[in-house]
Amino acid sequence: MLLAGARLDFARLAIVAIILLGAIGTNIFFNLHDAALLSTLPLIGIAVWVALLATAGWRKPTWALLPEALRGTIFLLSLVMCAAMMPVQHLPAASWPTTLGLGFVSAVFDNIPLTALALRQGGYDWGFLAYAVGFGGSMIWFGSSAGVALSNMYPEARSVGAWLRGGWHVALGYVLGFAALLLVVGWDPDAHAHRGGAKPAATAPATATPATSATSTRP
């Protein structure tokens, strides 16, 4: 609920919309036309910066917040880097119990490399996977970008014990929500491997040429 006398700044709201549309539009465009570029260039980040700079004259960004946010950014990048360096080549066989477990793992092991492994491996129900790594990753503060940003504002949030004591109901809600998905929607895994995963072996032609089908006449 808005505070009495507060006025909605539609310009700032429009800037947020432009940034989101730029990021989402870039992601969709390159996934449809040249997905390999998304793996080699930070195109979504570039789109966000273009939107920020293009709208800077409309509403000046609060650049003074950058030094404080930089510490959280470095910490989050370090988590992702450490997780990506773990010697894990594949996940257990895709199933709903495995997906439920990935939610708990995401709370302590960054969900970005986990999701990348799942996409390469295939066989997951992507709706369940998104719920698991998204909701599950937020059960502990350093499992999500939002948690890292929150802990920068409130350093006392960096206590995992206090986080669990005060937010035990989040884990309970995660499990109940997952159960509700199973009952209402049902597990419906993707039968096809994601691009970049294993491809089916090519089958030999059914009809042989005369040169290959001729019977040898050697004694």
Instruction: Output the six-digit token pair for 42.
Output: 């930070």
Residues 128 and 48 in one domain: no
pLDDT at 86: 66
Q: What are phi and psi of 201, to 5 degrees?
A: -65, 145
Structure tokens, 171 = 């884990």
Residues in the chain, overall count: 219
Both 190 and 101 in one domain: the answer is yes
pLDDT recorded at residue 39: 81
Same-domain status, 71 and 168: yes
Contact by Cβ (8 Å): 167, 140:
no
Same domain, 17 and 82: no
**Are residues 56 and 88 both part of a single domain?**
no
Residue 218 lies in a domain: no
Residues 48 and 86 placed together within one structural domain of the fold: no
In a domain, 3, yes or no: no
**pLDDT on residue 207:** 43
Q: Which residue numbers in the chain have pLDDT < 50?
A: 1-2, 4, 193-219
Do 36 and 102 lie in one domain? The reply is no
Question: CA 211 to CA 219: how far, in whole Å?
Answer: 19
Name the token pair of 38: 């998304």
Please check whether residues 100 and 127 belong to one and the same domain: yes
Domain span including residue 47: 10-61
DSSP string, the chain: -PPTT----HHHHHHHHHHHHHHHHHHHHHHHH-THHHHHS-HHHHHHHHHHHHTTTTS---GGGHHHHHHHHHHHHHHHHHHHTS----PSPP-HHHHHHHHHHHTTS-HHHHHHHHHHH--S-HHHHHHHHHHHTTSSGGGSHHHHHHHHH-GGGG-HHHHHHHHHHHHHHHHHHHHHHHHHT------SPPTTS--PPPPPPSS--HHHHSPP---
pTM beyond 0.85, yes or no:
no
Residue 163 domain-assigned (yes or no) = yes
Q: Is 115 among the domain residues?
A: yes
Q: Is residue 73 part of a domain?
A: yes
Looking at residue 88, its pLDDT comes to 61
How many domains, in total, are found in the chain? 2
In a shared domain, residues 47 and 88: no
Amino acid at 4: A
Domain presence at residue 213 = no
Q: Tell me if 201 is assigned to some domain.
A: no
User: In terms of domains, do 23 and 80 share one?
Assistant: no
| One domain for residues 29 and 85 | no
- pLDDT at residue number 84: 66
What per-residue confidence (pLDDT) applies to 106? 83
Examine the domain organization and report whether 84 and 156 are in the same domain.
yes
Q: Of 61, 79, 102, which residue is a domain's last?
A: 61
Q: Domain for residue 1, yes or no?
A: no
